[in-house]
Amino acid sequence: MLKFSSVLTLFVLFFVSANALSIDKVFPGNATDVEVINSLINDDDTICKSMVQAQGYACEEHKVTTKDGYILSVQRIPAGRSGKTANKPPVLLQHGIFVDAAPWLLNSPEESLGFILADIGFDVWLANTRGTKYSSGHTSLSPNDSAYWEWSWDELVQYDLSALVQYVNYATGQKLHYVGHSLGTLIALASFSQQDELINKLRSAALLSPIAYLNRIQSILIKAAAQLHLAEELDSLGYYEFPPGWDILGPILEKICNETGTNCSSIMTALTGPNCCVNTSKASVLLKHEPQPTATKNIIHLSQMIRTGTIAMYDYGSGDENKKHYGNSNPPAYDMRNIPTELPLFLGYGGRDMLADVDDVKALLNDLKDHDEGELVQVYSEEYAHADFVLGVNASRVVYDPMISFFNLH
Ligand SMILES: *[C@@H]1O[C@H](CO)[C@@H](O)[C@H](O)[C@H]1NC(C)=O
Ligand SMILES: *[C@@H]1O[C@H](CO)[C@@H](O)[C@H](O)[C@H]1NC(C)=O
Ligand SMILES: *[C@@H]1O[C@H](CO)[C@@H](O)[C@H](O)[C@H]1NC(C)=O
Ligand SMILES: *[C@@H]1O[C@H](CO)[C@@H](O)[C@H](O)[C@H]1NC(C)=O
Ligand SMILES: *[C@@H]1O[C@H](CO)[C@@H](O)[C@H](O)[C@H]1NC(C)=O
Ligand SMILES: *[C@@H]1O[C@H](CO)[C@@H](O)[C@H](O)[C@H]1NC(C)=O
C-alpha cells in the first residue's frame, strides 16, 4: 500500500535547484543595499527561526529578486555556534528538486552541512528555489497563476543561479564556494558550460550527486513516468504545479508501481535508491518542510533528458515552436566539454544512487577528461545513495571532510 507520507518522503531528495535576482534592480549601489529583513519578520515560521536560531546559531533572512520577478528567500549563518564571526569565505548551498534549504540543517549540528561549515568559520548562505514555500513571492504573479509556473531549470540557470551568486558576492565582497546537490548540480554545470561570467565570482564548486546525463537513470519509477509522458499529461490537464494533489498523483503512481513491479512501500528507496545512512526518525521532521513544489514544466524538461540522453534546453515539442524561442528547430545543447578546465570542481557520487547513477556520472567525467589535473577531485562512496549526500549521518566523514579540505586549498 502506497502511503501519502511515504510518497512525500520520497519526493524529498529527488533533485536539487536554484535561485536568482535582477542585478540592476537589486544592486543599484553597493553592499549597503543588501537587504537584511530579519527585523521585518515577526513570523516564527521562517527557516532562520525554526531551524537555525533554534539550534543556537545567528541567522539573517535575505530576499533576492530575480530579473523575471521571482522573490527568493536566502538565509545566512554568519557565525558559528560559539558566536565567532566567520573568518573563511562565503559558501552558497543549493538544494535539489522537491526540497528547500531545510535538509541542509535537519540532522544534528555535527552532522548537518549548514552547521558544520558555520562552526569551522565559513560564511554560510542557503538558497531556496523559486516556487518553494519561502520563495513563493513574485513582483506581479501569484503561485495561483499558471504564468507563475512557466519555467524549467533553464530559468534557474539564466536568472536564479547567477543572481544568487552575484548577491552573495556583492554582500560579502568575496568570491564564494558553491555546493549543489542533485538539480543544484545540473544548473551549475549548465551555467559553467556556457562559460557564464558567474564563474569569476566562484572559488570552487562542489557537486554532490551530480546530475548531467539522465538516460541511464536507475529508478524504474522515474524512468516509467518519463516514458509515459506523465508530466506532459498533467500539464495538458492544467496542472502547472508539481506535484499535483495526492488524489491525482496517488493512483497514477500506484499503477506505475504495480505495472513495473516496483516495491513502492518505501517510495523514497524506489526513487532515490537504498540510502544507507539516513536517520529514519528524522522523516517526520522532514515532512514538515517537504515536498516542496516545482513547475510541471521543469519535470517535463527532466523527462526529456531521460528520454533523449542529451543535455539541452527545454524542447517545445515542434520545430516551429523551438524556432520561435531559439531561432533553431532544435533546442540548444549545454556542452559539458565547454566547462573551463581550470575551474576547481569537487564531485561526490554514490554506488547506490538511483538518480545520479554511476554510469551517467562516468559520462559526465568523460566530458571532463581534459580538466586540469588537481582541479577535479572525486569522492566515491560505494554504499551511498542520493539522499545520503545531504542527510547521511556520517556524510561528514564520507563527503564533507574531503570537500572542506578541497575548499581550503582554493
Ligand atoms: C554605498 O551605499 C551608501 C548608502 O546607500 C551610499 O551612501 C554610498 O555612496 C554608496 N557607495 C558607492 C560607492 O556607491
Ligand atoms: C490562491 O488560491 C487559494 C485557494 O483557492 C486562496 O486561498 C489564496 O488566497 C490564493 N492566493 C492568492 C495569492 O491569490
Ligand atoms: C495494485 O496492486 C494491488 C495488489 O496487487 C491492487 O490491490 C491494487 O488495486 C493495484 N492498484 C492499481 C492502481 O492498479
Ligand atoms: C516491500 O518492501 C517492504 C519494506 O522495504 C517489505 O517489508 C516488503 O516485504 C516488500 N514487499 C515485497 C512484495 O517484496
Ligand atoms: C537520529 O535522530 C534521532 C531523533 O532526532 C536522534 O535522537 C538520534 O541521535 C539520531 N541518530 C543519529 C545516528 O544521528
Ligand atoms: C557510513 O555508514 C555506513 C553505514 O553504516 C557504513 O557502511 C560506512 O562504513 C560509514 N562510513 C564511514 C566513513 O564512516
Ligand 3 atom 14: residue of nearest CA: 255
**Interior angle at CA 169, CA 163 and CA 172, nearest 5:** 135
Q: Which ligand is nearest to the CA of 399?
A: 6
Compute the distance between CA of residue 248 and CA of residue 262 in angstroms, rounded to an integer: 20
- CA separation (Å) from 238 to 46, 255, 317? 31, 21, 17
Residue 229, pLDDT score: 95
**Which residue minimizes the CA distance to atom 1 of ligand 5?**
279
Pocket lining for ligand 6, CB < 6 angstroms: 276-277, 383, 394, 397-398
Structural domains for the chain:
4-409 (3.40.50.1820)
Looking at the DSSP bridge assignments, the partners of residue 242 are 294
- Residue 380 backbone dihedrals phi, psi, to 5 degrees: -115, 130
Active-site residue, from 68, 353, 357, 388: 353
Nearest CA residue ID for atom 12, ligand 4: 263
**How many other CB atoms are there within 10 angstroms of residue 236's CB atom?**
10
Distance 174 CA to ligand 1 centre (A): 18
CB 275 within 8 A of CB 386: yes
Query: Is 182 a known active-site residue?
Result: yes
Nearest protein CA to atom 7 of ligand 5, as residue: 281
Q: Which of 354, 349, 201 is nearest to 273 (CA)?
A: 354
> Please, which residues have CB within 8 angstroms of residue 62's CB and are 6 or more apart in sequence?
34, 35, 36, 37, 73, 74, 75, 76, 167, 171
pLDDT at residue 283 in the model: 66
Whether residue 251 is preceded by a cis peptide bond, meaning omega within 30 degrees of 0, is: no
Which amino acid type is present at position 238?
G
* Pocket of ligand 3 contains residue 258 by CB under 6 Å: yes
Gap from CA of 2 to ligand 3 centroid (Å): 10
Q: How many helices (H) and strands (E) does the chain have?
A: 18, 11
Q: How many CA atoms lie within 13 A of 251 on its CB side?
A: 2
d(CA 338, CA 358): 22
**364 three-class SS:** helix
Pocket, ligand 4, Cβ cutoff 6 A? 263, 265-266
Atom number of ligand 1 nearest to Cα 29 = 14
Helix (H, G, I), strand (E, B) or coil at 242: strand
d(CA 281, ligand 5 centre) in Å: 7
Inter-axis angle of helices 220-227 and 296-308, nearest 10: 100
Tell me the β-bridge partners of 93.
Answer: 126, 179
Sorted by sequence, the CB contacts under 8 Å of residue 405 that are 6+ apart come out as: none
**CA–CA gap between residue 203 and residue 173 (Å, rounded):** 13
pLDDT of amino acid 271: 85
Grid coordinates representing 361 are 556520472
162, 182, 204, 303: the catalytic one is 182
What is the maximum span of the chain, computed from C-alpha positions, in angstroms?
59
The string over 158-182, giving b where at least 16 C-beta atoms fall within 10 Å of a residue's C-beta and e elsewhere, is bbbbbbbbbbbbbbbeebbbbbbbb
Task: Report the Cα–Cα distance between both ends of the chain, in Å, rounded.
Answer: 49
In the numeric block, which cell numbers belong to residue 310? 542529451
For a ligand 4 pocket test, name from 265, 267, 269 the mutation site with the most ligand atoms within 8 angstroms of its C-beta: 265
Task: Please name which ligand lies nearest the alpha carbon of 263.
Answer: 4
pTM of the full structure: 0.88
pLDDT along the chain (410 residues), means of 10: 38 33 35 51 80 95 94 96 96 96 96 98 98 95 97 97 94 97 98 95 98 94 93 96 88 88 82 91 72 95 97 97 97 98 98 96 98 96 97 97 97
Nearest ligand, measured from the Cα of 269? 4
Ligand 2 binding pocket (C-beta < 6 A) is: 142, 144
Active site residue 386: yes
Whole-number pLDDT of residue 316: 97
Distance, CA 11 to ligand 2 centroid (Å)? 24
Which grid cell sits at 400? 564533507
Q: Which of 144, 145, 146, 240 to mutate to test the pocket of ligand 2 (most atoms within 8 A of CB)?
A: 144
Expressed in angstroms and rounded, the spacing between residue 144 Cα and the centre of ligand 2 is 6
Q: How far is the CA of 143 from the centre of ligand 2 (A)?
A: 8
Strands 123-127 and 176-181, sheet pairing: unpaired
